[in-house]
């Protein structure tokens, strides 16, 4: 199964590129997901990152994905 069709809550992620440069390098665990954003639990607390504005690296899967490819409601994204 491709990661774009997998449940992403609980996965560790790093923002590798972002429209907002202060987000670049942010690491955390995805604790919530909406159609347009992820909520990451970071060492500095919970942070919301807009999917379309960033690229994400999933370390455990060793893959980087453009957020625009994930910008769907979770229940629509994981349908086969």
Per-residue buried b or exposed e for 10-49, using 16+ beta carbons within 10 Å of the residue's own CB? ebebbbebbeeeebeebebebeebeebbbbbeeeeeeeeb
pLDDT of residue 1: 46
Percent of the chain with pLDDT over 90: 75
- Class of domain 3-77 (CATH, top level): mainly beta
Domain boundaries, the chain: 3-77
For 38-70, how does the pLDDT look when each residue is reduced to its tens digit (9 = 90+)?
999 999 999 999 999 999 999 889 999 999 999
Residue 80 reports pLDDT greater than 70: no
């Amino acid at each position: 199964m491709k990661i774009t069709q997998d449940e992403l809550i609980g996965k560790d992620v790093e923002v590798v590129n972002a429209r907002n440069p202060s987000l670049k390098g942010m690491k955390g665990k995805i604790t919530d997901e909406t159609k347009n954003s992820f909520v990451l639990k970071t060492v500095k607390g919970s942070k919301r990152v807009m999917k379309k504005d960033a690229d994400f690296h999933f370390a455990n899967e060793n893959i980087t994905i453009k957020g625009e490819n994930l910008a769907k409601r979770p229940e629509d994204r994981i349908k086969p």
